[in-house]
Structure 1
Amino acid sequence: MRTGSEQQTIQQEFTYTGIGLHTGSQEINMTCKPLAVNSGIRLKRVDLQSEPEIEATVDNIVSTKRSTSLGTEEWQISTVEHLLAALNVLGIDNLLIELDAGEVPVTDGSSKVFTELLQNAGIKKQNEKREIYTIEEAVWVREEDTYLVVLPYPEFKITYTFVSNHPAVGNQFGEFTIDKDTFVHKIAPSRTFGFASELEALQKEGLALGGSLENAVLIGENEIINNLRFKDEIVRHKILDIIGDMALIKPFKGHIVAVRSGHALNRKLARKIKRQVMPY
């Protein structure tokens, strides 16, 4: 079933400059510009000679290793999920995102800065309906001991169980009905995180090169190194990631229940929802 409201874009363009979490790229310039109705969310690499452009859809994911990356075999844009989460909850349907590097700036590792930038730019209703789908029967995916299911529900809700035997993290449970106020105050500020024991191996793979205590929660052998914004910030960030990855399909109402899921499983669920619920 589909319902409608007005499509939205931003009132004025803005530019933000920051570093890349995984690539370590310094001074990435990101400019967001309003687009006409039915344009979708589009990303453009202005640093490449052909200035290639791609739509932010689940079919254009090229990697889910430690982040969600969009692109082709020739080029890509990584770490899109935190920006997409803000666009998802704010209901922005049409936007051009220009980047002069292969990664979205990490800001502080959360969606807080993106949310503030978009709200400050102003959100503009457009003269065309958007489609919001309703989940009418369960859709699920599973990989070994990770699970992800979306159930019928009149709003957009996410329940997540984070499982860990780390003494300072432990198991964490989060459940939120995702509306703008809840997202802004309870989800958007939650930062990405990493384990110090994995850092060297990740950097050898060309990942987490720009990570620091300024843009990530660092988990040591027995303790969390920096101060948390929420005592359960880890599980809240996992919920944030799901919101961002689900922005790669049409908006929908339903209750997502997740156990240990990450970007790869989020992608599988998004593709299955698109195939079963959004035939277009």
Structure 2
Amino acid sequence: MNKYIYQSTIVKPVSFSGISLHTGSYSKVLIFPACPNEGITFTKRLSSSLFITNPFHIIGTSFCTELGSINHFRFSIKTIEHLMGALFILQLSNLRIEVDGPEIPIVDGSSIFWFKLLKNNIITQNILRVKKILKKIIFVIIDDSFIIVTPSSSLSINYGVDFYSSLKVNYLNWSFLPIFIHGSGVYSQILGSRTFGTKTNLSNLKQQELIQGANLYNALLLNNNFLAGTFFRHPKELVNHKILDFLGDLNLISNLSNVFVIAYKSNHYLNNFLARLIFNYSDEAISI
């Protein structure tokens, strides 16, 4: 039996508390099992609002992906992308995620913690997945950033980055990495790749009341040709973290897997713009 064509959830609830990257506050996340066809939903503690992950429920993309609603009151959960990236790789279908705080804890700046927390707690549900099938080629571009997505028989992502203009580091210049979901070898590198920022942007971000919880444990600090306080986990850690963000942002579209992607210098805004287009230009089909 191919377990990936069936829906899945977790056996028992799990929880974690930790500091948040942007707000600097402590948040607690509780992840509960959910029934088939419920999807991945988020709620705030003591709130009656429940949000299904959907690209149209994203209300902020400035240096993170923020889920929520702006009505008479504001419902918001920031920095969902690293958790969502782990859920994508684990292929978890149905979860209820309760957050006590404004943001998902940053942990070490990657997704490896969430992956390890959940990987041995998964149960297959006896209901087939309904996957999204892209119907046409989509090309989105803003300035010198772009994403091209075409229908395919499997998932492959080729992602380019260029940090030379800001960091003057040749070995971080242009890097493409192909991956295939349900393959082997690349997951540990993608899951363990940490978020990062440049020293030149620090004061600007803090003035915007961002990265209040950042430190050298949960984020890489790049300063010209130096990496402050630590070492890269592998040579492609920066581009792999961008792929992790991309997977997390695309996981707002349930069960999208059959696409070929070429992306260059994308960000959360462009990822979400793409996700909305894919949501509108795809059909649903039972996995076989």
* Equivalent in the alignment of 1:107: 107
What is residue 149 of structure 2 aligned with on the other side?
Answer: 150
Give me the TM-score of the superposition, normalised by structure 1: 0.92
Check whether the contact 1:86–1:115 (CA below 8 A) recurs between aligned residues: yes
More deviation in 36-45 or 175-184?
175-184
Counterpart in the other structure of 2:82: 82
By how many angstroms is 1:86 displaced? 1.0
2:43 matched residue in structure 1: 44
Deviation at 1:143, TM superposition (A): 1.0
| Aligned match for 1:171, one of 169, 174, 195 | 174
Mapped to 2, the partners of 1:206 and 1:178 lie a distance apart of 36
- Does structure 1 residue 118 correspond to structure 2 residue 118? yes
The alpha carbon displacement at 1:136 in A equals: 4.7
Shift of 1:201: 1.0
Correspondence list, 1:80-229, <5 A = 80-120=80-120, 122-165=121-164, 166-168=167-169, 169-179=172-182, 181-182=184-185, 184-225=187-228, 226-229=230-233
For 1:258, the equivalent position in structure 2 comes to: 263
| Corresponding residue of 2:34 | 35
Structure 1 residue 279: Cα displacement: 7.0
User: How many angstroms does 1:182 deviate by?
Assistant: 4.0
What is residue 55 of structure 2 aligned with on the other side?
A: 58
| 2:281 counterpart SS class | helix
Secondary structure (helix, strand or coil) at the match of 1:43 reads strand
Q: Runs of 5+ in structure 2 lacking a partner? A: none
CA spacing shift, 1:84–1:180, aligned 2, 3 Å? farther
What amino acid maps onto 2:67 in structure 1? L
Match for 1:248 among 249, 252, 255? 252
Q: Structure 1 residues 279, 153: closer, same or farther in 2, change over 3 A? A: closer
1:125 partner SS: strand
CA contact (8 A) 1:90 1:180 kept: no
Is 1:156–1:179's contact at 8 Å kept on the other side of the alignment? no
Counterparts of 1:152 and 1:275 in 2: how far apart (Å)? Answer: 14
Does structure 2 retain, via aligned residues, the 8 Å contact 1:149–1:269? no
Q: Which residue of 1 aligns with 2:237?
A: 233
The Cα of 1:183 is off from its aligned counterpart by: 5.0
Is the contact made by 2:140 and 2:148 (CA closer than 8 Å) also made in structure 1?
yes
Residues 143-187 of structure 1: CA deviation (Å, up to 9, x unaligned):
121110112222111101101222233333322223263453221
Counterparts of 1:180 and 1:103, CA distance in 2:
31
C-alpha distance in 1, partners of 2:202/2:104?
20
CA distance in 1, matches of 2:85, 2:78: 14
Q: How many equivalent residue pairs?
A: 273
Report the Cα distance in structure 2 between the residues aligned to 1:260 and 1:189, rounded to whole angstroms: 20
Change (3 A) 1:33 1:154: same
Identity of aligned residues (%): 33
Structure 1, unmatched stretches of 5+, are none
